[in-house]
Amino acid sequence: MIMSKKSEEWYKALIQSVPDIIYELDVKGRFTFISDSIKQLGYVPEELIGKHFRKIVHPDDFKKVSSEIVLPKYAKKITGDAGSPKLFDEIRAGKRMTKNCGLRLVFKKPKNISADQHYAEVYSSGYYHVELHSSGKWDRDIKEKHKKLIGSIGIIRDVTEHKQSEEALKESEERYRTIVGNLNDSLIIHDLKGKILDVNSRTCELLGYEKNKIIGEHITKFTANKSIKRSDPRLKQLLEKESLVFDSELQNSNGLIIPVNISAKVVSTNNERVIQSFVRDITERKKAEKALQEKGKLNKALFDYNPIETIVVDRKGRVIDFNLAKKNSGDKLPNIGCVMYRDYAGKHKIDMYAELMKSIRTGKAKEFPEQKYGNEFLSITMSPFPKGAIITSIDVTEHKERREKGSKRAEELGKAYEQLQASKDALIRSEKLAFTGRIAANIAHEIRNPLTNVAMAVQQLTKAIKPEGPPAKHMDIIKRNTERINYLITELLNCARPPKLNIRPCSIHKVLEDILEFNKAKISSKRIKIIKRFISNSFIIKIDKEQIERSLSNLLVNAVEAMSKGGKLTIITDVDGDSFVVKIQDTGKGIPEEDIIRIFDPFFSSKSGGVGLGLAICYGIIVSHGGTIEVESKPKKGSTFMVSLPVK
């Protein structure tokens, strides 16, 4: 039948409207027609007419369209061009058609052949090929009833997205299998009746069986005795909720019981509902839980049998527990849930509830060593922890009383020791003075007699010589030195023996004022500032005015001489119990620590040319009045002499 021109144009228009690429090849594989859809590869139909089919096929896919790959059993001979894909071996292929031949076609101007590949399915007639749909184009002679192959007609369908989806699915499956294979947990998939369908390698390691020994078995074969049965209610619960997490026990090939945690879920795959269970070996966790339970029991025992009264509260201060020591204390017990320091434990001098809340909030422990509670004294400690605080209380009433008695006793002992030490020092000084007195008496006797004779001789010689000559000067020197020696002997005797006191009422303030007035010139010349801090009352005490004046004057002069570059001289008077105290402070060079214990010894002096009897005489005068004299000094900061005299 001959197609009319109109019909031919209609069919061509129909072909051009199809999104698939429709082509026609001659017997040598050259294009005789190709539809406009080839433009999606960057070609125009005209440039491919007369060109071989391989022009649009990826080089690596040439062999895929070879007939010996498509139909190996017919591969005895090959037709077509030597370099062309063998699509057209119709003699061997007969009327067979090849379908779904997967090929990669190339764009006309690919920038990157791997990136610009275009997957397609080729439907072609002629030689058979893998996934190729083919049918011959024949010139049929009706009379002779034979046919002649004159070419092939084919269809190229774009399956790029389909191929990409297939590859993505394949990659996803491979990734899933890799993840499942490397899971630390076991994976068991079984149907709703419990028949195992698949497991991963970790399951085989856990149970000690090869995979083929597990697949097909019922799940209960690997469970411990009485752990899971076929009618286990958890299976029903799982089917209702579609997911369930629970602990169970499995038994491996050696009979070892393995505690496990199972996370089971009902999933659908290939229109079939199965149960997918992730199984985790919790042997170590169970051991840890057991150890934790044992530790919890131990901690509970330590809490209950702790001899210290202990109460536990939550973060709001509500009582949640207390130990046996508290129960056996005989005190009123708190009710569980009552608020500490509000509903229980009474009131304290400070807001203990506020302190408790602060301790819990800051996480810092608080201690209250001696909180008075009724007639008792309690040592309270608040130790916060994340869920509240632990409050301990110890009755320290007896301890406090013993400590106070001990402190009082220690104070008494301290005073006794100070008195003993003072008595010891006084005794030592008295012994020194007594020894000095005995020596002084002997020396005075042995020296004064010849010294008197020398003085008388000098007096006689002075009358016999001229008063203006050199001998008169020598006689004057001898006279002055004999008088000096006599003075020193007198001072030594005064230091060694208690002076005879002429006691009468006298104002110490008046004595101090007289001393300052007498030494006013010396004080002014030294650029020394006088600071007086006398008590308001003018105290009258019974003293030997001349002796006390001599003693205080000696101390004041020493203070002035210690401040060679000026400074402050402070005189303070005060009453301390039954004693009147006079303090003389200077800001001079101070006294070295090693010298302080010796400064009241006779003949000890740190002054150049000093005899060392001044402070010894002062000490003797003060002691003879029943008083004391002490000194405090710091090098380069000054000294303070404190004289205490009895008021009565």
| Most confident region among 266-270, 413-417, 576-580, 592-596 by mean pLDDT | 576-580
**CA atoms of 549 and 622, how far apart (whole Å):** 11
Q: Please name which of 473, 418, 432, 479 lies closest in space to residue 454, comparing C-alpha atoms.
A: 479
pLDDT tens digits for 311-339? 899 999 999 888 877 778 777 888 999 99
With a cut of 80, say whether residue 173 has pLDDT above it.
no
Q: Is there a single domain that holds both residue 522 and residue 582?
A: yes
Show the DSSP H helices in 22-159 as ranges: 45-48, 67-70, 90-93
Helix (H, G, I), strand (E, B), or coil: what is residue 594?
A: helix
User: Residue 207 and residue 217: Cα distance in Å, rounded?
Assistant: 13
Least confident of 172-176, 510-514, 609-613: 609-613
The Cβ of residue 359 has, within 10 Å, a number of other Cβ atoms equal to 18
- Which is more confident, 251 or 435? 251
**Same domain, yes or no: 270 and 331:** no
* Contact present, 125 and 154 (Cβ < 8 Å): yes
Residue 22 and residue 37 in contact, taking contact as beta carbons nearer than 8 Å: yes
Q: How far is CA 21 from CA 16, 36, 154, 162, in A?
A: 9, 7, 8, 17
Give the mean model confidence (pLDDT) for residues 36-44.
Answer: 85
* Per-residue pLDDT, 572: 92
Q: In the listed set 496, 528, 563, which residue is the last one of a domain according to the structure?
A: 496
Q: Is residue 293 part of a domain?
A: no
Read off the pLDDT of residues 134-165 as tens digits, 9 standing for 90 and up.
444 555 544 445 556 666 777 777 777 777 77
More confidently predicted of 119 and 458: 458
Residues 17 and 162 occupy one common structural domain: yes
End of a domain among 166, 191, 222?
166
Is residue 539 included in any domain, yes or no? yes
Is residue 371, in this structure, part of any structural domain at all?
A: yes
Alpha carbon 306 to chain centroid distance?
30
Asked if 615 and 550 count as a contact pair (C-beta separation under 8 A), the reply is: no
Separation CA 185–CA 278 (nearest Å): 6
Q: Are residues 31 and 139 in the same domain?
A: yes
550, 415: one domain: no
Q: Are 556 and 528 in contact (CB under 8 A)?
A: no
Query: Are 381 and 415 members of one domain?
Result: no
d(CA 151, CA 148): 9
**Is 177 a member of any domain?**
no
Q: Is the dihedral of CA 473, 475, 478, 482 positive or negative?
A: negative
631 part of a folded domain: yes
Domain ranges, residue 515: 504-646
Is residue 341, in this structure, part of any structural domain at all?
yes
pLDDT of residue 141: 47
Same domain, 128 and 12: yes
Residue 243, in any domain of the structure:
yes
With left for phi above 0 and alpha for psi between -120 and 50, is residue 448 left, alpha or beta?
alpha
Query: For 66-122, how does the pLDDT look when each residue is reduced to its tens digit (9 = 90+)?
Result: 544 333 333 333 333 344 334 444 333 444 344 566 777 778 775 443 434 445 544
Could you tell me the CATH number of the domain that includes residue 33? Answer: 3.30.450.20
What confidence tier does 361 reach under pLDDT thresholds 50, 70, 90? very high
Residue 173 lies in a domain: no
Query: Who's near 586: CB < 8 A, 6+ residues apart?
Result: 559, 560, 562, 563, 567, 568, 569, 570, 638, 639, 640
- Spatial contact of 81 and 29, defined as CB atoms under 8 Å apart: yes
Looking up residue 404, the CATH number of its domain turns out to be: 1.10.287
Q: Which residue has the higher pLDDT, 515 or 442?
A: 515
Q: What is the pLDDT of residue 88?
A: 42
Across the chain, what does the average pLDDT equal?
Answer: 76
Neighbour order of strands in the sheet with 376-385: 319-322, 309-314, 388-395, 376-385, 366-373
Q: What is the reported pTM?
A: 0.36
Residues in CB range of 203: below 8 A, 6 or more apart? 186, 187, 188, 214, 279
Provide the b/e sequence for 325-343 (b: ≥16 CB within 10 Å). Answer: bbeeeeeeebeeeebbbee
Number of domains in the chain: 5
pLDDT score of 642: 92
- 318 and 423 housed in the same domain: no
DSSP letters, 186-228, are EEEEEETTSBEEEE-HHHHHHHT--HHHHTTSBGGGGBPTTT-
At 248, the pLDDT band (50, 70, 90 cuts) reads: confident
Q: Tokens 């973060």 identify what position? A: 315
Determine the Cα–Cα distance for residues 276 and 196; give it in Å rounded to an integer. 10
Residues 486 and 359 in one domain: no
Compare 170 and 129 and report the one with higher pLDDT.
170
Strand partners of residue 118: 105
Q: Does one domain contain both 67 and 210?
A: no
Provide the CB-side half-sphere exposure for 263 (13 A, CA): 7
Report the alpha-carbon distance of residue 152 to residue 86 in Å, rounded. Answer: 12
Q: How far apart are CA 155 and CA 34, in angstroms?
A: 10
Q: Are residues 472 and 546 in the same domain?
A: no
Domain boundary among 395, 429, 445: 395
pLDDT of residue 187: 87
* % of the chain surpassing 70 pLDDT: 75
Residues 224 and 246 occupy one common structural domain: yes
pLDDT for residue 358:
92
What average pLDDT does this structure show over 268-291? Answer: 86
Share of the chain above pLDDT 90, in %: 10
Task: Give the per-residue pLDDT at 116.
Answer: 44
Overall average pLDDT of the 57-65 stretch: 70
